[in-house]
Structure 1
Amino acid sequence: MQWIEISIVCERVATDKVTTLFSDYADNGIIEENLDQEPEKQKFVVYVDSSCDEEAIKSDIRLRFKEAQINIDSIESHILDESTWYNSWQQYIEPTEILPNLIIKPAWQDYDNVDNREIIEIDSDLSFGTGSHETTRSCARLLQEYVHRRGDAIQNDICLDIGTGTGILLLIAAKLGITNLIGIDIDENAANQARINASNNNVDATIIHGDLAHDFNGRAAIIIANLTVDPLKILLPIIGDKLEVDGALIISGIIDDRYDEIMPYITQHWQIKTELVEGSWHTFALQKL
């Protein structure tokens, strides 16, 4: 099988919009690459099935970016075979210390654990949620703070991860001592990958392929939603019905230039308990009003 590799360079502040615009083409995830010589720029790489029309895709992307008022510095495309594609995106993923003494290790990478740290091993041939992104780190920090506050009471808490992807935040929750774990994702491939990663890490988690409103009928004490602004705007009212009365909600995926846009959706029904900022990204711990 062959793949079309499409790479775009544009302003970093457009990251949230770019991931949304790429969503139709991103069945195999989106790679975000920093440009050392241009810190205000970001390179985005997406892999598309080679049965698609390469030039038509590039024309469609240019049109979408123009409509979204995002200036593209460059757009390039190449045809890759299966092995080249597999090696191409894997090179970007390295072991990451997500919390003190807790390492996220890609399954295809070696890690010399000389300090006897806790290891979570993530494998994925579809998405790239392996712990290196600012939003994942911030969610992990707030999750750790939640666990410290709850103490032994976490044994009875249900943790729900919305848009679970590779299941990474559920696996972090397990390492922190939460045992009642549920992940949900509308993408069937992501749900399957989360099940594989949970099994490979000996974590007992329920993974649901489906829609939050209709396919999760319980309530959770702690809910995590590391998404982007557009789905958060839709889901924030629904999440309130899925959270216990005194429960905690952690949300992330909010970039600087869309901060003001999401705030009315937060303040209408939620009280901000904590806000973390890392780079251009904002992460919140919320409680229902």
Structure 2
Amino acid sequence: MQWIEVSIVCERVATDEVTTLFDDYADNGIIEEDIEEQPNLIKLTLYADPILDADVIKEDLEKRLIEANITVKSIDAHILDESTWLNSWQQYIEPTEILPNTVIKPAWQEYDNVDNKTIIEIDSDISFGTGSHETTRTCAELLKVYSESMDLDKVTCLDIGTGTGILLLVAAQLGIKHLVGIDIEEYAANQAKINCENNEVHAEIICGNLDTDFEGTAQLILANLTVDPLKILLPQIGKKLEDNGILIISGIIDDRYDEILPYITEHWHIIEERVAGPWHTFALEKL
């Protein structure tokens, strides 16, 4: 498998603006590196889906930078093979305290657990599912808040687009017994199964579509996706959520907030919204 590596060198003060422009392509996160002997500069790198075209991505980002009136020192996009890709980003993924006393530890990193915290170990070839992203953390926070008022022995927690299964593993640590993850990508479903087994968590993992392949309903549903799939899935999710259940959604970037909001308010009541960086996470209930 190949990936497209896109790197931009810019002024450090422009980091937030530039990373926001990156977000459409940055499903696997963004790496920030210092530039030796140039403390005012920073290198930002992402790895984009290989089905895209490197030159098209570069041209698109250059256009966005011009429109945003942001000057950068350099921008580069090229193809990497899988082994180079893995070595490129894995070294930057560190253990993350996703909730108080609960740490997500990448399988390839060491962690000195001197404080005897709960460890969830994730092995993955996609960095988005390692707990370091703002949307993963805020989903976990809201999951903790709204699960506390539920009978955890009877609750079904459904994670749509489960990826590495990280939110299911957090749900298990919170005491939820019945866990279901679904993902349309076979490699993601397989990775979620492996991570659940490695953490001795029993969960049903489905490779398929929400509408046709998940039967029944859930009291807690998680959908940490992006705007485009959320537009499609929000009406379907309503059929899968019990009447008094809670839906937690994320993956909504500042630039597309106004675009997705009508899709939310048409079918859902917003209970709570949390913002982390440029990302928005909602707790919703059916109207």
1:196 and 2:194 correspond: yes
Choose the corresponding residue for 2:218, options 204, 220, 240: 220
Q: 1:63 to 1:47 in 2, by over 3 A?
A: closer
Which amino acid counterpart does residue 46 of structure 1 have in structure 2?
Y
1:130 and 2:130 correspond: yes
| 1:253 aligned counterpart, secondary structure | strand
Choose the corresponding residue for 1:187, options 182, 185, 190: 185
Which residue in 1 is equivalent to 2:99?
A: 99
User: After superposition, what is the alpha-carbon deviation per residue over 1:181-202, rounded to whole angstroms, capped at 9, x for unaligned?
Assistant: 0111111111111111000000
CA deviation after TM superposition for structure 1 residue 122, in Å: 0.2
Structure 2: how far apart are the matches of 1:261 and 1:193?
A: 32
Which residue in 2 is equivalent to 1:59?
A: 55
Which amino acid counterpart does residue 120 of structure 1 have in structure 2?
I
* Contact 1:219 1:243 survives alignment (8 Å): yes
Which residue in 1 is equivalent to 2:257?
A: 259
| 1:172 aligned counterpart, secondary structure | helix
Structure 2: how far apart are the matches of 1:139 and 1:249?
A: 10
Superposition TM-score, scaled by structure 2 size: 0.84
Which residue in 1 is equivalent to 2:283?
A: 285
Aligned length: 274
* Contact 1:13 1:256 survives alignment (8 Å): no
Superposition TM-score, scaled by structure 1 size: 0.84
CA RMSD of aligned residues (A): 2.9
Structure 2: how far apart are the matches of 1:208 and 1:97?
A: 28
User: After superposition, what is the alpha-carbon deviation per residue over 1:241-266, rounded to whole angstroms, capped at 9, x for unaligned?
Assistant: 01011110000111222211111111
1:113 and 2:113 correspond: yes
CA deviation after TM superposition for structure 1 residue 136, in Å: 0.8
User: After superposition, what is the alpha-carbon deviation per residue over 1:218-270, rounded to whole angstroms, capped at 9, x for unaligned?
Assistant: 11110000111111111111100010111100001112222111111111111
Moved more, 56-65 or 9-18: 9-18
Which residue in 1 is equivalent to 2:273?
A: 275
Which amino acid counterpart does residue 58 of structure 1 have in structure 2?
A
Moved more, 277-286 or 4-13: 4-13
User: After superposition, what is the alpha-carbon deviation per residue over 1:64-107, rounded to whole angstroms, capped at 9, x for unaligned?
Assistant: 5578x565944324565665432211012000000000000000
Provide structure 1 residue ranges, at least 5 long, that are not aligned to the other structure: none
Which amino acid counterpart does residue 135 of structure 1 have in structure 2?
T
| 1:149 aligned counterpart, secondary structure | coil
Choose the corresponding residue for 1:210, options 202, 208, 211: 208
Which residue in 2 is equivalent to 1:33?
A: 31
| 2:252 aligned counterpart, secondary structure | strand
* Contact 1:136 1:226 survives alignment (8 Å): yes
Which residue in 2 is equivalent to 1:156?
A: 154
Which amino acid counterpart does residue 44 of structure 2 have in structure 1?
K
Q: Identity over aligned residues, as a percent?
A: 62
| 1:156 aligned counterpart, secondary structure | coil
* Contact 2:4 2:54 survives alignment (8 Å): no
* Contact 2:30 2:46 survives alignment (8 Å): yes
Which amino acid counterpart does residue 144 of structure 1 have in structure 2?
K
Which residue in 2 is equivalent to 1:175?
A: 173
Which amino acid counterpart does residue 212 of structure 1 have in structure 2?
L
* Contact 1:229 1:253 survives alignment (8 Å): yes
Structure 1: how far apart are the matches of 2:226 and 2:213?
A: 21
User: After superposition, what is the alpha-carbon deviation per residue over 1:20-61, rounded to whole angstroms, capped at 9, x for unaligned?
Assistant: 4x4xxx8xx63312477789x983421677xx9xxx932222
* Contact 2:182 2:208 survives alignment (8 Å): yes
